[in-house]
């Protein structure tokens, strides 16, 4: 008797494991208010700080590129200290606030990784970009790796060949990579990340170079963290101006401009298409965000739902 009811329990568990996967309705029964709570948090944060849309979008990108979309980027220490992250990533406090609101409604139910994915989507929408449906059910890691982050996150000094390799390693093709780079239609970069381009590259619009040099001196160590908009035309609006700018040598980062001028035919046509057609960009961006959001998720029984996003349970 005891042993047969144990087998029934085991069978039920196996069935639950076999059917566990991501879905768009994942929290509909367990936490029906989750998506609205996340959206409210994003809208409030972006209305008091427009740049926050960019910062939340980038958090999700940096999460997904390092051991998959598992909220590893949020754990204190580790990945947060990697080259591209330290002194650069922002929005941790916004995610913590959203998480605590969600926890109040439904305890230990909604993962930090899912919150990042939904917040990235809602951020894009909040600044005029396209929407898409986010699959849910990612779980959170209990580890993060600074070494892996340094290895997998693309640096702004990379060549187009290396950029393509980095994205291909995550299952993202040329079109995805160019579309996702269009995230640089919003947000800011620090002088230290585009100084070399200002002072030693030829494929830069002279007027842009002059105006950026005013707040980004040549001497390393001076003005390193001074900010400039990645899209000089419409810095806080999600549109296709980033691609129009690339055609005019007005990309801010080396890694932006190489997509157009040094790609040897690999990506120019894609940029021309996005620069001349906002809908084409929006559709490709949404499709690529779905792909990026599905990189190596932890699915039950793997992973955990963290109580606090900055530390493992
Ligand atoms: C193609 C390879 C990429 C490289 C080399 C790159 C590099 C960078 C760098 C250097 C910055 C400025 C950071 C700072 O100065 O503090 C930045 C900002 C940003 N990146 Fe990227 N990025 C890439 C792709 C992406 C992707 C795929 C996304 C999202 C889908 C993204 C979203 C952003 C956003 C929104 C910002 C502004 C963040 C803010 O203002 O807080 N980037 N990126
Ligand atoms: C790249 O992936 C997108 C989906 O994100 C797809 O629509 C497109 O056909 C792919 N392109 C190539 C060249 O494989």
The domain 2-153 having CATH identifier 1.10.520.10: the answer here is yes
Q: Per-residue pLDDT tens, the chain, 313 aa: give them.
A: 344 444 444 444 443 443 468 999 999 999 999 999 999 999 999 999 999 999 999 999 999 999 999 999 999 999 999 999 999 999 999 999 999 999 999 999 999 999 999 999 999 999 999 999 999 999 999 999 999 999 999 999 999 999 999 999 999 999 999 999 999 999 999 999 999 999 999 999 999 999 999 999 999 999 999 999 999 999 999 999 999 999 999 999 999 999 998 877 889 999 999 999 999 999 999 999 999 999 999 999 999 999 999 999 9
Note the pLDDT of residue 81.
97
Burial of 145 (0-12, 13-18, 19+ CB in 10 A): middle
Note the pLDDT of residue 11.
41
- Ligand 2 centroid distance, CA of 287 (Å): 9
d(CA 281, CA 221): 37
Residue whose CB lies within 8 A of the most ligand 2 atoms, among 176, 178, 286, for a mutation test: 176
Note the pLDDT of residue 256.
98
Beta strands in the chain (DSSP E): 188-190, 227-229
Note the pLDDT of residue 262.
83
Q: Does the annotation mark 62 as catalytic?
A: yes
Q: Give the number of the atom of ligand 2 that is nearest the alpha carbon of residue 288.
A: 5
φ, ψ of residue 209 in degrees (nearest 5): -60, -45
| Class in CATH terms, 160-289 | mainly alpha
Q: In the chain, list all ranges with CATH 1.10.420.10.
A: 160-289
| 271 Cβ contact list (under 8 Å, min separation 6) | 178, 243, 246, 247, 259, 260
d(CA 181, CA 167): 11
Q: Which residues pair with 229 in a beta bridge?
A: 188
φ, ψ of residue 190 in degrees (nearest 5): -90, 145
Note the pLDDT of residue 261.
85
d(CA 256, CA 247): 11
Q: In the chain, list all ranges with CATH 1.10.520.10.
A: 2-153
| CB 288 near ligand 2, within 6 Å | yes
Burial 40-66 (b: 16+ CB within 10 A, else e): ebbeebbeeebbbbbbbbbbbbbbbbb
Burial 96-111 (b: 16+ CB within 10 A, else e): bebbeebbeebeeebb
Note the pLDDT of residue 20.
64
Note the pLDDT of residue 133.
98
């Amino acid at each position: 008797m005891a042993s047969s009811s144990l087998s029934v329990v085991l069978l039920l568990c196996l069935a639950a494991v076999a059917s566990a996967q991501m879905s768009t309705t994942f929290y509909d029964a367990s936490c029906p208010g989750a998506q609205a709570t996340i959206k409210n948090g994003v809208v409030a944060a972006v209305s008091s700080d427009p740049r926050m849309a960019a910062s939340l979008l980038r958090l999700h990108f940096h999460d997904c590129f390092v051991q998959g979309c598992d909220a590893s980027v949020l754990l204190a220490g580790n990945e947060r200290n990697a080259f591209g992250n330290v002194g650069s990533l922002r929005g941790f406090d916004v995610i913590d606030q959203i998480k605590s609101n969600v926890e109040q409604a439904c305890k230990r139910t909604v993962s930090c990784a899912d919150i990042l994915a939904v917040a990235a989507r809602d951020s894009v929408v909040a600044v005029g970009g396209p929407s898409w449906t986010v699959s849910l059910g990612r779980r959170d890691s209990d580890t993060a790796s600074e070494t892996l982050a340094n290895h997998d996150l693309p640096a702004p000094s990379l060549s187009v060949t290396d950029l393509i390799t980095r994205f291909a390693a995550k299952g993202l093709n040329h079109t995805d990579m160019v579309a996702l780079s269009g995230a640089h239609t919003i947000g800011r970069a620090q002088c230290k990340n585009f100084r070399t381009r200002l002072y030693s590259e030829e494929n830069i619009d002279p007027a842009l170079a002059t105006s950026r040099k005013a707040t980004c001196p040549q001497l390393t160590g001076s003005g390193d963290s001074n900010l400039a908009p990645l899209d000089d035309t419409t810095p806080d609006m999600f549109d296709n101006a980033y691609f129009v700018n690339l055609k005019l040598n007005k990309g801010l980062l080396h890694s932006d401009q190489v997509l157009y001028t040094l790609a040897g035919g690999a990506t120019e046509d894609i940029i021309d298409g996005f620069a001349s057609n906002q809908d084409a960009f929006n559709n490709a961006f949404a499709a690529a965000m779905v792909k990026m959001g599905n990189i190596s998720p932890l699915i039950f029984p793997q992973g955990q739902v963290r109580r606090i996003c900055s530390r493992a349970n």
